[in-house]
Amino acid sequence: MTMPVMEPDLDATVLQDWARAIDEGPFSSLCWGERITFSNPDNLTLLGALAAWTSRVRLVTTVIVPQLHDPVMLAKALATADMLSGGRLTVGVGVGGRHEDYHAVGADLATQTIRGMAERVAVMKRVWAGEKITESVLPVGPSPVQPGGPPLFVGAIGPKTVRSAAAWADGLAGTTLDLDVAKQNELFDVAREAWAQAGKPQPHLATSFWFAFGAPDEARAQVHGHLRRYMNWIPAEYVDAMAPTTGWAGTEDELLTVLRRFEDIGTDEVQLIPTSSDLGQVRRAAEVAARL
């Protein structure tokens, strides 16, 4: 389950209530993504709070863009979070799709590439391994609880990115707009093959999609409204055109059917993305997850 970080009018109470509801189960992971030029909470600050507010569920960043951060400071912050959470952190990374976020932090747009991401991941892994990356007296700490650092998932929807990440990633944090199971399985097959060629264990295969519970028109309108807010870098008419077929809207039984279809292709995890901060939505999703 993904935190409602892209919803408007959030406060500490809403975020804490969601975190505790997710931690109560039966969800496997608590997820959230990163934006800079948006009203969402800062990714790393929230990570510290989530580590304190939860005790069971894995914490998954989906995604952090390493190019928007100093990689050494990012590695230190994530190692700290791994320590605070008792080794419950998984780090999803991606190149990011919005130039405005790069501009806002003074990041070089030339680094908005798979290579630019991989170079920063390599620095982070050196920090987590306890290597000195300068002539310092001690290496950068603290050491993460998980040996070698938190598992790394690559946020990707294309085969080129997936293949290039096989050398350093532990899994895939994908997304599907239209819930096309066959297309998702094709990408999973790319990952399975790339990981095998790299001589690595099978990758953790995750995907995500937006969801809304309710009567058909009401639930679909909720998804549409969320997309209008979140996809504010895309002309509204394009968002309106894609909204009727983006994400999922319906009843508990209908969501269970969709999740079973993803289960059938070997999906390890579906990370549901809310389109409302209404706590009732996460509780209804919990009822579905308990039936899997």
C-alpha distances (whole Å) from 192 to each of 64, 88, 172, 206, 266 are 23, 25, 10, 12, 11
Domains present along the chain, CATH in parentheses = 12-289 (3.20.20.30)
Cα gap 155→206, rounded to integer Å: 10
pLDDT band at 218 (very low <50, low <70, confident <90, very high): very high
> For 132-175, how does the pLDDT look when each residue is reduced to its tens digit (9 = 90+)?
999 999 999 999 999 999 999 999 778 999 999 999 999 999 99
Cα gap 90→82, rounded to integer Å: 9
C-alpha distances (whole Å) from 44 to each of 26, 63, 82, 153, 191 are 25, 11, 12, 17, 28
Q: How big is the chain, counted in residues?
A: 292
> For 19-45, how does the pLDDT look when each residue is reduced to its tens digit (9 = 90+)?
999 999 899 999 999 999 999 999 999
**pLDDT of amino acid 203:** 98
> For 220-272, how does the pLDDT look when each residue is reduced to its tens digit (9 = 90+)?
999 999 999 999 999 999 999 999 999 999 999 999 999 999 999 999 999 99
Tokens found for residue 252 = 């508990």
**pLDDT of amino acid 69:** 98
**pLDDT of amino acid 157:** 79
With tokens 């998702």, the residue in question is: 184
Reference 142, options 121, 123, 127; nearest CA is 127
**pLDDT of amino acid 258:** 98
221: buried, middle or exposed (CB in 10 Å: 19+, 13-18, 0-12)? Answer: middle
Which residue(s) pair with 90 in the sheet?
A: 60
176-199 burial, b at 16+ Cβ within 10 Å, e below that, comes to: beebebeebbebbebbbebbeeee
C-beta pairs of 95-101 under 8 Å, 24+ apart in sequence = 95/65, 95/67, 95/161, 96/34, 96/63, 96/65, 96/67, 96/68, 98/35, 98/37, 98/233, 100/36, 100/37, 100/233, 101/35, 101/36, 101/37, 101/65, 101/68
Residue 11 has pLDDT above 90, yes or no: yes
pTM of the predicted protein model: 0.96
Across all residues in the chain, what is the average pLDDT?
97
Cα gap 191→204, rounded to integer Å: 9
**pLDDT of amino acid 156:** 79
Mean pLDDT calculated for residue range 178-199? 97
Cα gap 249→266, rounded to integer Å: 23
Residue 120 has pLDDT above 90, yes or no: yes
Element (H, E) at 213: strand 204-213
Give the three-class secondary structure for 89: strand
